[in-house]
């Protein structure tokens, strides 16, 4: 597909009868077939189901029906979202070949809007990673430079959009897993307010942090996809009951008078100079567009990485206990139940997942709970309080999305701490539960994309998208 073909224009063409959904889907499948051997963005391509869904859309259009705001638009799903009858692996051997008996709520909402799922994308195993190198089925590659990682854990979804295979994809963001790959691949990636989008049918990593969101080529498409998937869901106990704002209607409002804070703690040590330069240029661009820009401190943000890598593994160790060889997924037979569980989990989980399960189990164990997990939760509260204080002064915050541009495959796999540092800019707003979006803003010294991150208070997606649209409009071409 053409990289310049937006979801909004495709849907309008299909709804108006100017293009057929079948034609659009065939174009998408041809692009995947031609280009994905080099990238490995997809784990499963659901070609026949997509063709059948497209034919049904065309029949509805011919009958005078309106199939919805995403009529005939191909979309890719990160392979940790349940799809009825389609393998949902989470990038793990322990779920290889498992086909859920139901669809995630976001999958149902995509279908109701007329979108057509064309496949499931690669990811770091159980969404644990920043490079998509932890997938049990092999790494994905960055379309901008195939010797580089696409980021993670939603690297397959980001790569699929960046390569022009699909105009829309969904990822999940626990500590930056939508925003960081969006930055590295040069696309738009948005994490909604925690609870804005249902987690029903999302295979859990860390339940107090996980959030599904869009990866797209444009801010307008991200706004459109957000409006489709967001909204209250009684199947998710953390789902927010407030109605979803029409963020797309405010994209052209501009940023005149908008108060923007440049986060000082996220522009210092550890941030590559070329990334810092692009971030400050983004702040200047917003100021030229009429925003009021100042530097703002969020002091506790520097503790985000430490708190996250206690809280998220602790929740993961609990959530992943369900993969025991008894109910579904891989089963390695052994003489006793205990030995079977050990053998199954030993063979089924990869090194990074095992590392985080052990770390999380330790943090939750008797005698260490208060010293580690309890303290990390108190730090999380400090971070949320510091963000709240910053938002009393400004409407949105600005920071780099990733500390560097895309790094070479294999560059950080031997050093977990170096890999974890990739999330230093994205984790704080995950811990606070606030929305954030990464927007491409030029390139670094190596010619690879740099993403700039806009953050906003909880439920302030209108201001978030306003600022994102202004950044996109002023980004270097």
Identified catalytic residue from 131, 153, 429, 432: 153
Strand partners of residue 292: 259
Identified catalytic residue from 92, 131, 177, 198: 177
Residue 99: CB partners within 8 Å, gap ≥ 6? 84, 85, 86, 87, 88
Identified catalytic residue from 20, 78, 120, 200: 78
SS3 of residue 210 by DSSP: coil
DSSP 138-195: ----BTTBTTB---SSSHHHHHHHHTTS-SEEEEEESSSTTHHHHHHHTSEEEEPPTT
Residue 442: CB partners within 8 Å, gap ≥ 6? 278, 281, 449, 450, 475, 476
Q: How far is it, in rounded angstroms, from Cα 157 to Cα 165? A: 10
Angle between helices 461-474 and 273-288 (to 10 degrees): 100
- DSSP code of residue 326: S
> For residue 131, which phi and psi values (nearest 5 degrees)?
-145, -5
Active site residue 191: no
Q: Are 207 and 190 in contact (CB under 8 A)?
A: no
- The angle formed by the CA atoms of residues 8, 13 and 18, to the nearest 5 degrees, is 175
Active site residue 306: no
Active site residue 153: yes
Q: Which residues are catalytic?
A: 78, 153, 177
């Amino acid at each position: 597909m053409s990289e310049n073909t937006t979801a909004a224009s495709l849907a309008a063409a299909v709804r108006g009868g100017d293009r057929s959904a079948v034609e659009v889907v065939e174009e998408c499948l041809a692009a995947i077939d031609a280009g994905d051997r080099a990238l490995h963005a997809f784990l499963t391509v659901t070609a026949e189901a997509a063709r059948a869904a497209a034919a049904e859309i065309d029949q509805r259009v011919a009958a005078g029906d309106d199939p919805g705001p995403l009529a005939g638009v191909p979309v890719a799903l990160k392979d940790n979202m349940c799809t009825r009858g389609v393998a949902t692996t989470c990038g793990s051997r322990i779920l290889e070949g498992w086909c859920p008996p139901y669809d995630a709520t976001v999958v149902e909402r995509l279908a109701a809007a007329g979108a057509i799922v064309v496949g499931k994308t690669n990811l770091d195993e159980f969404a644990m990673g920043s490079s998509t190198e932890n997938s049990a089925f092999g790494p994905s590659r960055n379309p901008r430079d195939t010797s580089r990682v696409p980021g993670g854990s939603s690297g397959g979804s980001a790569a699929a959009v960046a390569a022009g295979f699909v105009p829309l994809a969904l990822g999940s963001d626990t500590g930056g897993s939508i925003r960081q790959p969006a930055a590295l691949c040069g696309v738009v990636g948005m994490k909604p307010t925690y609870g804005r989008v249902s987690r029903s049918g999302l295979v859990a990593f860390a339940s107090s942090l996980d959030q599904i969101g869009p990866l797209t080529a444009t801010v307008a498409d991200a706004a459109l996809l957000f409006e489709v998937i967001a909204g209250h869901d009684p199947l998710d106990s953390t789902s927010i009951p407030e109605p979803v704002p029409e963020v797309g209607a405010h994209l052209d409002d501009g940023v005149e008078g908008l108060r923007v804070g440049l986060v000082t703690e996220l522009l210092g040590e550890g941030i590559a100079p070329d990334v810092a330069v692009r971030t400050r240029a983004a702040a200047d661009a917003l100021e030229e567009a009429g925003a009021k820009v100042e530097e703002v401190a969020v002091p506790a943000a520097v503790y985000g990485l430490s708190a996250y890598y206690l809280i998220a593994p602790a929740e993961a160790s609990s959530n992943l206990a369900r993969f025991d060889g008894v109910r579904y997924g891989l089963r390695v037979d052994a003489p006793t139940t205990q030995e079977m569980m050990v053998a199954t989990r030993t063979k089924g989980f990869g090194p990074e997942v095992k590392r985080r399960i052990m770390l999380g189990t330790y943090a939750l164990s008797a005698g260490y709970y208060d010293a580690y997990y309890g303290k990390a939760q108190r730090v999380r509260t400090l971070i949320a309080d510091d963000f709240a204080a910053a938002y009393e002064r400004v409407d949105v915050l600005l920071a780099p999305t990733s500390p560097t541009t895309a790094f070479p495959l294999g560059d950080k796999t031997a050093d977990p701490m170096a890999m974890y540092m990739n999330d230093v800019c994205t984790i704080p707003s995950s811990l606070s539960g606030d929305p954030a979006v990464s927007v491409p803003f030029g390139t670094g010294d190596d010619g690879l994309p740099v993403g700039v991150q806009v953050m906003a208070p909880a439920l302030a997606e209108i201001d978030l998208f306003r600022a994102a649209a202004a950044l996109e409009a002023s980004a270097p071409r």
